[in-house]
Amino acid sequence: MVLDRGLLSTKPIPPDERLILALDVPGPEEAWQVVTSLGPRVRFYKLGLELFMAGGYFELVAALRDRGARVFVDLKFFDVPQTVAAAVRQLARRGADFCTVHGNDAILEAACAVKEDLRVLAVTVLTSLDQHDMEALGFQTDIPSLVLSRARRALELGCDGIVSSGLEVRRLREDLGERLIVVVPGIRPALNRPADDQKRTMDVEEAFRAGADHIVVGRPILAAADPRAAAEDIQNRIALLFGG
């Protein structure tokens, strides 16, 4: 079988850092248990709102950094530009690698103006939304066109990357090349993907062949009978794609 490798990311990212594990657990103690059990097979973690509300969030960020892991702060900052800029400025001092920002041009521009070494990822369209949801929200365009429009604006405004469903990545790469980091959530590694709140999903290989730089995986690892084996399987599949 000849593999479609034409749109594989060429960015100098270590293969084992292309997988980002979503630490969607109730608190920092549970999160650290996951990190410890997975060991060196996961090198990049995403910390979202549930952990933020549990307390100890930035202590966990610091502990992950001390362990040599990379950290993606996924809090989707959305507020008036000055407030978002203040939040990003504070976060830039915390040692995180990525953060997500939601909103219009002024919000994205304000975040990028103060990001320092922090990489700002613009949110395009949540993977939990489909075309029907977008129409209900009042958007009179198809999702791929909206994602591409937002990605273009993010690039022009100084964002380092975007978060996008894998279903839109190929079109993004064909139009924008390698200029943006593209992080793809909603990854479902098994062929028989379970029903959940993610409506626009992709398999591991599908996402990377479409041009993803990183994939975000949560439940398929956390809910597995053997989470470490599940992470190992995904890392092996990534290594085969990228020759690691």
Domain extent listing, the chain: 21-183
Helix axes 169-176, 143-157, angle to 10 degrees: 40
d(CA 133, CA 204): 25
Please pick, among 46, 76, 115, 199, the residue that the annotation labels catalytic: 76
Of all residues in the chain, the percent with pLDDT exceeding 70 is 84
* pLDDT value of position 147: 75
Extract the tokens encoding 103. 């909103």
- Is 177 within 8 Å of 155 (Cβ atoms)? no
The CATH class that applies to domain 21-183 reads alpha beta
* Section 54-71 average pLDDT: 97
Query: Is 60 exceeded by the pLDDT of residue 55?
Result: yes
E strands, the chain, are: 19-22, 44-47, 70-77, 98-101, 119-123, 161-163, 181-184, 214-217
Query: Is 50 exceeded by the pLDDT of residue 190?
Result: yes
Extract the tokens encoding 184. 């793809």
Q: How confident is the model at residue 193 (pLDDT cuts 50, 70, 90)?
A: very low
Extract the tokens encoding 174. 């064909």
In sequence order, the 6+-apart residues with CB closer than 8 A to the CB of 112 are: 120, 157, 158, 159
Residue 199 known to be catalytic:
no
* pLDDT value of position 121: 97
Query: Is 90 exceeded by the pLDDT of residue 49?
Result: yes
- Is 228 within 8 Å of 6 (Cβ atoms)? no
- Is 203 within 8 Å of 186 (Cβ atoms)? no
Pick from 66-75, 116-125, 150-159 the range whose average pLDDT is largest.
66-75
| pTM score of the predicted model | 0.88
